[in-house]
Amino acid sequence: MKQDQFLDVLNKDEALRRFLDAIPADTSLGTETVALEEARGRVLAKDVVSSADVPGFDRANMDGYALRASDTYGASEATPLCLRRSASSVAIGHLAPDELLAGQAMAIPTGGAIPRGADAVLMIEATEVHEDGRVEIRRSITPGTAMSYAGTDIAQGETVLHAGTRLTSRETGVLAAIGQHEILVRRRPVVAIISTGNEIVAPGTVLSPGKIYDSNAIILADAVRECGGVPRSFGIVDDDTEALAARLREALAQSDIVLLSGGTSKGPGDLNAKVLARVLAPPGIIAHGVALKPGKPLCLAMSGEKPVVVLPGFPTSAIFTFHEFVAPMLRLLAGWIDEPHTGSVRATLSRRFQSVIGRRQYVMTHLIDTAASQPIAYPIDKGSGSVTTWSQADGYFAISEQVEHINKGKTVDVFPIAGARARRCDLVIIGSHCVGLDLLVALMRQRGFSSKLVTVGSRAGLAAAKDGLCDVAGIHLLDMQSGQYNHPFGDETVEIVSGYGRMQGLVYRRGDARFSEEEEKDLPLAVAAAIRGGKITMINRNRGSGTRLLIDALLAGATPRGYSIEATSHQAVATAIAQGRADFGVAIDIVAKERGLAFRPLREERFDFVMPRGRRSRPAVAAFCELLSDDRTRAALTLRGFTP
């Protein structure tokens, strides 16, 4: 009997290249909206922008008393102080009915809304209530103690998840926290699975001599699920040309990808390649025979824009060739750009980390690849109440009960979070946050580059760039002596790439006559007059941020009520003012406009990007620099309200 032979056996790389090249450049299979309960494992089809602040109000982190931290100064166990107990108290789910006055303490439960006028919470264990209504204070605390500020985890208008993100329980928790009940996701590729051969029978049937159970079908179905696809079984087909052709046409009509197993060698009963040549639309068979062991009989084909693969019949060969050839293509169609990860990673700690004696501590952390022999562990400091800490972390390291701190440069073992995976990251960005940077990250994603964004402020970003801990640092630092932004802070270790301009200014509620342009043209004088008038509360920015420098210059040494409250983003400033928790602050005009707040310009600033010297040759860094100079990027920034 005549037996056909493989005419053109290709090496693995060439076969895979031909196969992937045949797949259309636009791999999107469309989108669909799913309920949040069904979203785990799906891939986001567009960026998710928060429509809510998380938390939505300043809240207490423990049971105790809301008060002004300055009223506790000097208090100790040996020398307690007494405050007046407020007649009002905070109830869960409600705002305090009265403003807290100086010298008062207001009872507040864990999770309660901080009353206006308070800037800290003292734990109940450090207090004692006297019969005459006085509250004895036995500890001094600083502003911000035992409280979380509104919008400091997630601010309204902030991009919390980017298109292309594969959702796990970490990300669905973020979506729930901002009130999303349904989400737009990429449609998953449907994969038809056909088992072929006269010897194959389904599990559960009686196994007669010469027959074998079909294990490939379940192996391939589960492997498809693990790569983001939806398997659809088309059963077992005997070695019959007409029956196989009919089943193949049915599978092509109802799926995005077709997998067959068995029948791909050159023996007399191996019909699959012959049926493919007859049924498939052009380009048809791309490769039949690959120089692999196991897996030589592999057949790769395309019917129009639909991939069709005939895998070898032996289970080991089938699953091996699936992971080598089908899995990369399937993840591409599913929108998955990351890979599974197991095991721990040894990493270098980026900074000194303080722990608590007597308690075993688990620290959520970013992992940042560098040119060094091992990656950098960059701890996330948002705290246990933060929903985004869990979603942003690449893993965690543990600190034992006997260790009080770990010094910068020490090695730690970072373990992946259960159910998580290591995310491919092309570009590491550390520094100040800006909504314009969110836009650039989204555009980089469209170009096929993933980014890790760690927002720690301009000064910390500059330090990270000088230490080589990142590829890019976003900064907007004003040199008060020269009046220039960013460039005076560079040195021989970094280069500064021009970004864009944005307008910083005073933000306040519309109708507040203390800041209206009609009454007071000079902004510093207006602010000084408002502070002198009393009964006004500001919202500050975090130390180390570029905006904090502008605020301190504007206040000229004044420290009005609220000066110690540090928001970590422009959106958080706008939130505090819109909710009435503060009367004024400094932020960019875009955020003020989005929240319907009044705005008076203070200074146009530059938001530039610092890069360690020698990094431009990296593909992602080069792409980022090209993106900044692209006319379409400049137009998009202008449309958003920035000045290129």
Whole-number Å distance between alpha carbons of 115 and 597? 22
Q: How many helices (H) and strands (E) does the chain have?
A: 16, 35
492: Cβ–Cβ under 8 A, 6 or more apart, which residues? 613
* Residue 119 near residue 532 (C-beta atoms within 8 A): no
By residue count, the chain amounts to 644
pLDDT tens for residues 577-590?
A: 998 899 999 999 99
Of 177-191, 328-342, 465-479, 561-575, the range with the lowest mean pLDDT is: 328-342
387: Cβ–Cβ under 8 A, 6 or more apart, which residues? 54, 153, 154, 173, 174, 177
Q: What percentage of the chain exceeds 90 in pLDDT?
A: 50
Write the DSSP string, 559-594. --TTTT-EESSHHHHHHHHHTTS-SEEEEEHHHHHH
Task: Evaluate if residue 359 carries a pLDDT over 80.
Answer: no
Task: Evaluate if residue 503 carries a pLDDT over 90.
Answer: yes
Whole-number Å distance between alpha carbons of 428 and 415? 20
Label residue 474 by pLDDT band (50, 70, 90): very high
Higher pLDDT, 313 or 630: 630
Q: What is the pLDDT of residue 335?
A: 86
Q: Is the peptide bond before 340 cis (omega within 30 degrees of 0)?
A: no
* Residue 342 near residue 418 (C-beta atoms within 8 A): no
- Residue 455 one-letter amino acid: T
Label residue 264 by pLDDT band (50, 70, 90): low
Main-chain phi, psi angles of 639, to 5 degrees: -60, -35
Q: Count CB atoms within 10 A of the CB of residue 643.
A: 14
Q: What is the pLDDT of residue 73?
A: 96
Q: What is the pLDDT of residue 534?
A: 81
| Mean pLDDT, range 259-264, rounded to an integer | 79
Q: Which residues pair with 127 in a beta bridge?
A: 137
* Residue 537 near residue 116 (C-beta atoms within 8 A): yes
- Residue 534 one-letter amino acid: G
Closest CA to 287 of 267, 274, 301: 301
Whole-number Å distance between alpha carbons of 581 and 9? 72
Q: What is the pLDDT of residue 384?
A: 52
Alpha helix stretches (DSSP H) within 365-434 = 387-392
Closest CA to 423 of 326, 345, 510: 345
What is the DSSP code (8-state) at residue 374? Answer: S
Q: Based on C-alpha coordinates, what's the Rg of the chain? A: 31
Q: Which residues pair with 301 in a beta bridge?
A: 285, 308
How far lies 502's CA from each of 604, 606, 626, in Å? 6, 6, 21
- Residue 257 one-letter amino acid: I
| Mean pLDDT, range 19-25, rounded to an integer | 83
Helix H or strand E segment including 463: helix 458-466
Main-chain phi, psi angles of 500, to 5 degrees: -155, 165
- Residue 543 one-letter amino acid: R
Write the DSSP string, 254-278. H-SEEEEES--SSSTT--HHHHHHH
Label residue 420 by pLDDT band (50, 70, 90): very low
Q: What is the pLDDT of residue 124?
A: 95
In the chain the domains, ranked by start, together with CATH numbers, are 12-27+188-334 (3.40.980.10), 31-54+153-186 (3.90.105.10), 59-148 (2.170.190.11), 345-414 (2.40.340.10), 425-644 (3.40.190.290)
| Mean pLDDT, range 79-94, rounded to an integer | 94
Label residue 400 by pLDDT band (50, 70, 90): confident
* Residue 355 near residue 392 (C-beta atoms within 8 A): no
Closest CA to 565 of 153, 156, 147, 155: 147
Label residue 365 by pLDDT band (50, 70, 90): confident
Task: Produce one character per residue of 168-191: b if its CB has 16 or more CB atoms within 10 Å, e if not.
Answer: bebbbebbebbebeebebbbbbbb
Label residue 269 by pLDDT band (50, 70, 90): very low
* Residue ranges with strand state E in 4-108: 31-35, 48-49, 59-60, 64-67, 81-85, 104-108
Whole-number Å distance between alpha carbons of 120 and 144? 5
What is the DSSP code (8-state) at residue 326? Answer: I
For the CA atoms of 615, 616, 619, 621, the dihedral, rounded to the nearest 10 degrees, stands at 80
631: Cβ–Cβ under 8 A, 6 or more apart, which residues? none
Main-chain phi, psi angles of 29, to 5 degrees: -100, 15
Label residue 382 by pLDDT band (50, 70, 90): low
Higher pLDDT, 425 or 334: 334
